[in-house]
Structure 1
Amino acid sequence: MTTSPAAPGSALDRFFGIRAAGSSVSTELRAGLTTFLTMSYVLFVNPQILSTAIQVPNAFVQLLMTTALAAAFGSLAMGLVAKYPFAQAPGMGLNAFFAFTVVGGLGVPWQTALGAVFISGVLFVLLSVLGARQAIVRAIPNVLKFSITAGIGAFLAFIGLRNAGIVVANEATLVGLGPLTAAPSVVALVGLVVTAALLARRVKGAILWGILVATLLAIVLRLPVYPGANGALAPFSGFTGRFLGIFDVPVWPGALVGQLDIAGALGLGLLSVVFTFFFVDFFDATGTLTGLAQKSGYLTPEGDMPRARRVFTMDGLAAMFGAFMGTSTTTAYVESASGIEDGGRTGLTAVVVGVLFLLAMFLWPLASAIPAAATAPALILVGALMLEGLRHVNWDDVTESIPAFLTIIAMPLTFSIANGVSWGVISLCGIKLLSGRGREVSPILYVVAALLLARYIWLSE
């Protein structure tokens, strides 16, 4: 399909280089809409996860606003400054680490956890500006990059299954199968099948459509899957109809903005949390952005990305802005590949995404209709898609397959992304060294492994 190029010499063409990229304004606009549709589920899923840790009045709506603002800022920064078609938003997996491991597991106040996210963003910006990214990236073998992403995917899927009531606690076996005929399980399973079918058919915005189908099922059948079910809303324990006023003035997230505690996050006991936020975001963003650059045709034969410092600096600034606004780490979204597949090649695509996130803030009444059971399929399927990189792991090489396995399995079983990352790094260095292949590992990674091992020893005392 041919598209008309941007008008020669137009302001948009000069600023974004649309014609030079072989694209057109109409293509960029369509690509931006496509990207937004594929990642807009974050507006519902991110608040659902973070609201378990951040306790403020009207938490879900305020977190939805913060999510939209963080996604808008990150996408606009990437489009206007770095001029790439890469959208940003609060990252899946990183929000789970924030809510369930740092706040829920370690008992860190959410304000302090936001401070840790902010500091990790500052470190990210400094390394990006100094150009130290290349040295650190080269130190991490691909097997760990793929494994960390896959482990986060397994963790997300586990959380989704738990939110749906499909996986439940069991005193004898730790976990077990929940009642599949219960309302939350039915909603989630229907949403899972529908969403997977839409993904298979390559329907734009498949995850969002799946959430909407599951939500409509819950509303039409008046299923008890909403807060207060079988209690405060009795005798009708289903949807209350609050979404019928679809449009409303955006709510300012005043209880979240500027609440981060940077001083508390600088405490010695939280340095490992700051490091994990930084480590996971750094390599997740690096892998995502490198893959997107390759897909959009910008990666050089040597593997370098033009304007790399700008790209990674904008990612770090987005994390800092998101933390100030009250959300977990904002980062590049792999769903940007859908817009690139649709022809997006310049920053105009990301700008369109940012503008659409701002407009979405006027639709916040819809949020009251989205139960946790309807967003569970999104977590499960996003988690499944994150396992794609495992096909690149050399499973015949024990020095790589065992660290990969430990990285992946540790995250859901210990309910901690930090443990998965740590086990992977430590085991890789140890196995390579003791098998006589220590030179295959960068000295930088040995230093990282030693620090992680020291942290475990220190914490066990």
Structure 2
Amino acid sequence: MSTTAPPRPTPRATAPAFLDRYFGLTAEGTTLPRELRAGFTTFLTMSYILFVNPQVLSAAIDVPNAFVQLLMTTAIAAAFGSLVMGLIARYPFAQAPGMGLNAFFSFTVVAGMGVPWQTALGAVFISGVLFVVLSVVGARKAIVMAIPMSLKLAITAGIGCFLAFLGLRSAGLVVANEATMVSLGSLSNPTAWVAIIGLIVTAVLLQLRVKGAILWGILLSSVVAIVTGAKVYAGGPDGALQAFPGFADGVVAAPVWPSDLVGQLDIAGALGLGILSVVFTFFFVDFFDATGTLTGLAQRAGYLDERGDMPRAKTTFSMDGLAAMFGAFMGTSTTTAYVESASGIEDGGRTGLTSATTGVLFALSMFLWPLAGAIPGAATAPALILVGAMMMDGIRHIEWSEVAEGVPSFLAIISMPLTFSIANGVSLGVISYCAIRLFSGRGRKVHPILYVVALLLVLRYVFLAE
């Protein structure tokens, strides 16, 4: 079965020989300008984490000037994670502190369980060590290989739905509703109409096959927001949105070293029996979140072969674990592969040069972070929605008439946005696939490793449900 990656056009521009050889630009049918542009696109769709992660973690981490220090450590962790993924694993998968895991860190572990934030960072570090160990011994690759192709395609589509949901929520087109859980937001809201304009413009550019369509869409949407004075920027009185405030203090700001965060993790405390459940919860959630994300992105980029194998899988998964360890040392919750990397892949990124570019931009953001404030969430939302739509392409290859293939695939797809978790989607897909095959008398078609994984997932939900 073939993968459903976008076509790889023949390069029209050359890159320095050493870059071409190391990253394989010609072999992957890409060019230096295309990779740089894709890295910029990925950065723009991820840059919100520079502001959102400090907001979430500052609820748990009480240090002087917490927001600025957390912004800096977020930028450093994202830069490191993206650079090692690009330069060592050589894939276009950027990394940064993960959403969801930061909320679990702050509100469940620290605020809910009363675990000191230093000890919680130690738990994140230990989970990263487990990631690396399992990657080096080949366990993560073996698990990925054991997942059937139908579920891999479903994981890609589920991530697409998750991305689209993030985009719709960021655009204010989908809002919370106590009666119906979610509902349509107000179309008169400036955030909504800026996003709708961006969505239409970007879709038209994609249809016309304009190079850098997603990037141009983000930039044009930002210009619309600035020129019209739309109140789509955070930072207004009492948390209200405001019009673009400009650059009152210039576009260059000196970085602040996060001295109250770096090296504060308490590994010894995290090894105590009382919070081993926290360590394993971090591990289980991020293992399947990152594994699902990396598998889905690799499938979309065309790196999976007929057996669903990804070259350099051990190295790729190890870089994910290394990023988690480094992020914990720097003072942030789990750093992991970002699903928003799909925007750069869709914009032509095919090699590690894309994620390396993203990493450099995150490093520069420590000096130029006021510029990121010119890109509102309403401008990046259309990119997430459209990339999500394009990631649905692979589901046409799923054998929907085969219940044992179709039902688990559907559960994997639908549960990701509805439970707001890629890990839950992967878990429900794997568990249901094994159960349906086993109880329908076709258990031998399931790889033994997948049964072990399914059992561990069931145990995780039973004993670590909180």
TM-score under structure 1 normalisation? 0.78
> For 1:20-59, what aligned pairs fall within 5 Å after superposition?
29-55=32-58
Deviates more, 1:439-448 or 1:347-356: 347-356
Offset at residue 275 of structure 1 (A): 0.8
Contact 2:146 2:449 in 1 (8 A): yes
- What is the distance in 2 between the residues matched to 1:200 and 1:136? 37
2:57 is paired with a residue whose SS is coil
2:254 is paired with a residue whose SS is coil
Q: Which residue of 2 aligns with 1:285?
A: 294
Contact 1:3 1:23 in 2 (8 A): no
The answer to whether structure 1 residue 329 and structure 2 residue 335 are counterparts is yes
Contact 1:5 1:19 in 2 (8 A): no
- What is the distance in 2 between the residues matched to 1:227 and 1:38? 21
- What is the distance in 1 between the residues matched to 2:292 and 2:197? 34
Cα distance change of structure 1 residues 200 and 66 upon mapping to structure 2, 3 Å threshold: farther
The answer to whether structure 1 residue 411 and structure 2 residue 420 are counterparts is no
> For 1:169-248, what aligned pairs fall within 5 Å after superposition?
169-227=176-234, 229=236, 237-242=242-247, 245-248=250-253
Q: Which residue of 1 aligns with 2:277?
A: 269
Offset at residue 399 of structure 1 (A): 0.7
Q: Which residue of 2 aligns with 1:98?
A: 101
- What is the distance in 2 between the residues matched to 1:259 and 1:86? 31
- What is the distance in 1 between the residues matched to 2:142 and 2:262? 35
The answer to whether structure 1 residue 17 and structure 2 residue 21 are counterparts is yes
Cα distance change of structure 1 residues 310 and 154 upon mapping to structure 2, 3 Å threshold: closer
> For 1:1-12, what aligned pairs fall within 5 Å after superposition?
12=18
Q: Deviations over 1:215-246 (max 9, x none)?
A: 3333322233333547588xx94232236722
Q: Which residue of 2 aligns with 1:147?
A: 154
- What is the distance in 1 between the residues matched to 2:158 and 2:118? 26
Contact 1:73 1:318 in 2 (8 A): yes
Q: Deviations over 1:126-171 (max 9, x none)?
A: 2232233442222222222332333233233223322332222323
Contact 1:38 1:338 in 2 (8 A): no
Q: Which residue of 2 aligns with 1:362?
A: 367
Aligned letter for 1:41? L
C-alpha root-mean-square deviation of aligned residues, in Å?
4.0
- What is the distance in 2 between the residues matched to 1:19 and 1:277? 27
Contact 2:75 2:363 in 1 (8 A): yes
Unaligned runs of 5+ in 1: none
Deviates more, 1:393-402 or 1:127-136: 127-136
> For 1:27-176, what aligned pairs fall within 5 Å after superposition?
29-55=32-58, 65-82=72-89, 84=90, 86-90=92-96, 95-99=98-102, 103=106, 115=122, 117-176=124-183
The answer to whether structure 1 residue 457 and structure 2 residue 462 are counterparts is yes
Offset at residue 111 of structure 1 (A): 6.4
Contact 2:120 2:265 in 1 (8 A): yes
Offset at residue 400 of structure 1 (A): 1.4
Contact 2:342 2:387 in 1 (8 A): no
Cα distance change of structure 1 residues 172 and 77 upon mapping to structure 2, 3 Å threshold: closer
Q: Deviations over 1:320-352 (max 9, x none)?
A: 32343325433374456468x57x76x666655
Q: Deviations over 1:352-371 (max 9, x none)?
A: 55445434443211133333
- What is the distance in 1 between the residues matched to 2:217 and 2:354? 24
Q: Deviations over 1:289-342 (max 9, x none)?
A: 4765749xxx7x987666554444334323332343325433374456468x57
- What is the distance in 1 between the residues matched to 2:65 and 2:394? 38
- What is the distance in 1 between the residues matched to 2:175 and 2:189? 12
Return the match for 1:314 from 283, 308, 319: 319
Contact 1:148 1:407 in 2 (8 A): yes
Contact 1:117 1:329 in 2 (8 A): no
Offset at residue 277 of structure 1 (A): 0.4
TM-score under structure 2 normalisation? 0.77
Deviates more, 1:255-264 or 1:441-450: 255-264
Aligned letter for 2:40? L
Cα distance change of structure 1 residues 413 and 105 upon mapping to structure 2, 3 Å threshold: farther
Offset at residue 445 of structure 1 (A): 1.8
Aligned letter for 1:273? F
Cα distance change of structure 1 residues 132 and 226 upon mapping to structure 2, 3 Å threshold: closer
What is the identity percentage for the equivalent residue pairs of Structure 1 and Structure 2? 53
Aligned letter for 1:429? C
Offset at residue 51 of structure 1 (A): 4.3
Offset at residue 432 of structure 1 (A): 0.9
The answer to whether structure 1 residue 383 and structure 2 residue 388 are counterparts is yes
- What is the distance in 1 between the residues matched to 2:199 and 2:138? 42
Return the match for 1:431 from 436, 444, 463: 436
Contact 2:82 2:359 in 1 (8 A): yes
Contact 2:156 2:391 in 1 (8 A): yes
Matched positions, count: 440
1:41 is paired with a residue whose SS is helix
